């Protein structure tokens, strides 16, 4: 899927705060620092006053790709481990057959949540990078149309 095809409905509010394009958003685990009109909010949630607006969209897209790649790698590894688990546990009988199942289920559920969270972060970063680019392009066009 092309990251430009993402819509706001594809992204949630996971991992951080989400505001409109004129404000700011941040994630506790993201190195991205965005400046919004009138204030900034860094990745630790600290707010400072400013009148500037900037976003490193190339860094946002790189972080999005990194999160997507990590999600894919973890999903592939989870599938590999699951197959190994199924092969091993299918030979067990009695208490051994059921003793480890609850822990296994809990662990795979947690791993699946991590994969989903990474996908969500990747989508959010890509979505907002393209939104910031679109807003910037629109603002440039409006300024250019006013004339010198």
CATH assignment of the domain containing 68: 1.10.287.1060
Count of domains observed in the chain: 1
> Is 145 within the bounds of a domain?
no
Taking residues 77-94, report their average pLDDT.
Answer: 94
For the chain, percent of residues with pLDDT exceeding 70: 53
Mean pLDDT of 22-49: 43
Residue 24 lies in a domain: yes
Confidence of residue 23 (pLDDT cuts 50, 70, 90): very low
Structure tokens at 6: 């993402």
pLDDT digits (tens, 9 = 90+) for 61-71: 999 999 999 99
Q: What does the pLDDT average to over 110-135? A: 90
How confident is residue 145, by pLDDT bands cut at 50, 70 and 90? low
Residue 146 maps to a domain: no
This prediction has a pTM of: 0.55
Handedness of CA 115, 117, 123, 126 (dihedral sign): negative
Which domain does 58 fall in, by range? 3-140
In a domain, 61, yes or no: yes
Asked whether residue 148 is domain-assigned, the answer is no
In this prediction, residue 112 has a pLDDT band, given cuts at 50, 70 and 90, of very high
Q: Which residues of 79-105 are buried (b: 16+ CB within 10 A; e: fewer)?
A: eeeeeeeeeeeeeeeeeeeeeeeeeee
Better-scored residue on pLDDT, 113 or 138: 113
Does the residue 38 lie in any domain? yes
- Contact residues for 55 (Cβ-Cβ < 8 A; gap 6+): 32, 34, 35, 128, 129, 132
Confidence class for position 148, pLDDT limits 50, 70, 90: low
Instruction: Flag whether 147 is in a domain.
Output: no
In a domain, 23, yes or no: yes
* 26 DSSP 8-state letter: E
């Amino acid at each position: 899927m092309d990251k430009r095809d993402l819509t706001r409905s594809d992204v949630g509010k996971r991992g951080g705060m989400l505001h409109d394009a004129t404000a700011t958003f941040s994630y506790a685990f993201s190195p991205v620092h965005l400046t919004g009109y009138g204030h900034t909010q860094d990745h630790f949630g600290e707010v400072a006053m400013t009148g500037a607006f900037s976003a490193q969209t190339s860094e946002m897209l790189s972080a999005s790709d990194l999160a997507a790649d990590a999600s894919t790698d973890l999903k592939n590894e989870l599938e590999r481990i699951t197959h190994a688990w199924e092969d091993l546990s299918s030979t067990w009988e009695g208490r051994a057959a059921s003793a480890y199942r609850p822990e296994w289920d809990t662990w795979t559920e947690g791993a699946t949540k991590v994969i989903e969270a990474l996908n969500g972060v990747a989508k959010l970063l890509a979505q907002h990078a393209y939104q910031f680019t679109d807003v910037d392009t629109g603002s440039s066009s409006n300024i250019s149309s006013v004339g010198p």
